[in-house]
Amino acid sequence: IFNTSMNFVEGNPTLAKVTNLVRSTKRITYPKTGSFYQVLSSDVKSKSGINASCVILDEIWTYPNPDLAKMLTTGSGDARSQPLFLYLTTAGNQLSGYGWEMHQKANDILNGRRVDDTFLPIIYGLEEGEDWEDEKNWYKANPSLGHTIQIERIREHFQQAKQDPAEEALFKQLRLNMWLKQNIKWMPMETWGKCCSPVDPEKLKGRICYGGLDLSSSTD
């Protein structure tokens, strides 16, 4: 976000003239009012007392907990006439964490289960059960598809996703903004389902046998 903002300022003669860019600290200053725009670290304790006009929280699905977001937004902007907090995120690879909580809040507001006039939810993505292989549905998650994103790139990734469960997970998460219950599937569930057939032990006699055993408490 900062690099894009920096390029925008540098490409605009008016903004470039009245602001100063400090690349080493990723900071853009406006000396006339003492205002500045800056990238912040993830250290929570050092963010106490910030009174921002605008806070941009990017890719919140990666936040391990809500501590940083709460520190930056609770009480922040109270002295401002129009404070603005932006929460941005791609879908995550598990149904937990701060990003998932905010996604659920947005869904609840959109579906009338919750009321919060200060919160504007905007979601682009496929819901569970929608056909991820249908190109028409790809536009739901990518409203600028065909303009800023070329559909040929999506089709190329789709072909990889159909042959590789790991790529399928990435395609659904990053291309279609679908929240996943797990990161990578070893085997597509429709293939797994085909394994559910009766086994005749007599027919297995004399044949090589392979066993899959779950023996680890954390990593198999």
Q: What percent of the chain has pLDDT over 70?
A: 95
Query: Taking every pair of C-alpha atoms in the chain, what is the biggest distance, in angstroms?
Result: 86
Residues whose CB is less than 8 angstroms from the CB of residue 202 and which lie 6 or more positions away in sequence, other chains included: none
Q: What percent of the chain has pLDDT over 90?
A: 60
pTM: 0.75
Cα three-residue angle 29-53-9, rounded to 5 degrees: 35
pLDDT computed for residue 207 by the predictor: 93
Report helix, strand or coil for 29.
strand
Predicted confidence (pLDDT) per residue in 16-75, tens digit:
999 999 988 999 999 999 999 999 888 888 887 788 899 999 999 999 889 989 988 887
Predicted confidence (pLDDT) per residue in 78-135, tens digit:
888 889 999 999 999 888 899 999 999 999 999 999 999 999 999 999 987 899 999 9
* pLDDT for 220 beyond 90: no
Round to whole Å and give the CA distance between 23 and 27. 6
CA–centroid distance for 160 within its chain: 21
DSSP state of 127: P
Residues whose CB is less than 8 angstroms from the CB of residue 101 and which lie 6 or more positions away in sequence, other chains included: 66
Predicted confidence (pLDDT) per residue in 137-159, tens digit:
999 999 999 999 899 999 999 99
pLDDT computed for residue 184 by the predictor: 57
Nearest alpha carbon to residue 92 among 211, 210, 187, 183: 183
CB 108 within 8 A of CB 97: no
